[in-house]
A and B are shown apart, each in its own frame.
Chain A
Amino acid sequence: MKMSRCLALLLGAVMLVSMFGCQAASRNQIMAASASQVELRNYQSRRFETENKEKTLRTVISTLQDLGFIIDKADMVLGSVSGTKLGGYSLRMTVTVRPKAQNQMLVRANAQYNITAVEDPEPYQQFFASLEKSMFLTAHMDE
């Protein structure tokens, strides 16, 4: 009898902690970042050999559209594009294009799946694989 009461108390305590754990952490989400910022930037970014920012942005837009995203916003000055894909889930992606070295553009993507940040390398690899294909195609179509 005593033993089971102890156990019940313990379970109750764990339940409370797990509840508070979630609640206290919810404000921490504002500044939350993944453990390794360097690693995250690394697989969210690719360099492309081009100096044409506009063409890169337009290719990003059409790649996102090809993947079933609808474009929410785009800005030429900031070089940013945001899109959302819906299919029973919500996948939101922001891609920025910045001139890096001479004749190079740095493309960076970050994504949100429902209510979590995507910190898995694979989705980014898939996105950049599609982007690379269309960058190659447009480069060879127009030049």
Chain B
Amino acid sequence: MFRKSAAVTLILVMLSGCTAAKVPKQALDLSPEDISNKQLQTKFFETTDEKMILSASAGLLQDLGFNLDESCPDLGLVTCSKNRSAVVTGQVVGAVVVAILFGVAVPIDKEQKIRASLVTRPVGEKSDRVAVRLTIQRVVWNDRNMVSKAETVNDPQIYQEFFNKLAQSIFLEAHDI
């Protein structure tokens, strides 16, 4: 009896593996959170020179160790990425403790790919300002080569730091330093 029901369950699982999952409703719905993220990710610069802002941004991303993947200056886009270690001491210690106490190996984060995409856009009635918007995502793999995190980074501190550095970088670019 048990075997039969197990077989039936297995068949159901196999069949359902072929059917599609649906897009979550909130995925394409503009939420108040999206709007506050936009403010966080955007900074305006008083200039008409969009290309200068874009190349200063690309320079800064290189300073931060990103490799450029794609660019489209006509539309003000630069995308870049970097692969880095994702090992966190606390998690490793936790895994060791669990292994000692229970004899179970817990997967720990090993590697991450960080992707950043930066878009510039002239704004204002006379297009006399340039909006710069940065968005960052990361995917983390654990030591079993499985994805443990796939997320958008919305940490205000990261964006503030980036834009402070960008302001400096634009200043240097403008003064040819």
Binding site for B on A (CB under 8 A): 7-8, 11-12, 14-15, 18-19, 21-22, 25, 54, 57-58, 61-62, 65-76, 81, 83-91, 111, 113-114, 116-120, 122-123, 126-127, 130, 141-142
Contacts and interface: CB of A to CB of B under 8 A. Distances in A.
Contact of B151 (A12, A72, A83, A87): A87
Main secondary structure of the interface of B (DSSP, over half): mixed
A69 B4 CA distance: 46
B15 to A, nearest CB: 6
Contacts of A58: 75-76, 121
A68 B34 contact: yes
B23 A113 contact: yes
Interface string B122-161: 0001000000010111010000000000111000000000
Contacts of A73: 70, 72, 77, 79
B133 A65 contact: yes
Contact of B29 (A65, A90, A126): A126
Given A71-B77, A73-B72, A86-B137, A130 B20 contact: no
Contacts of B37: 68
B88 interface: no
A119 B21 CA distance: 11
Interface residues of B, number: 45
B77 A54 contact: no
Interface in B7-41: 7-8, 10-11, 14-15, 17-18, 20-25, 27-30, 34-35, 37-38, 41
Contacts of B79: 70-73
A99 to B, nearest CB: 16
A7 B29 contact: no
Given A71-B119, A113-B23, A61 B70 contact: no
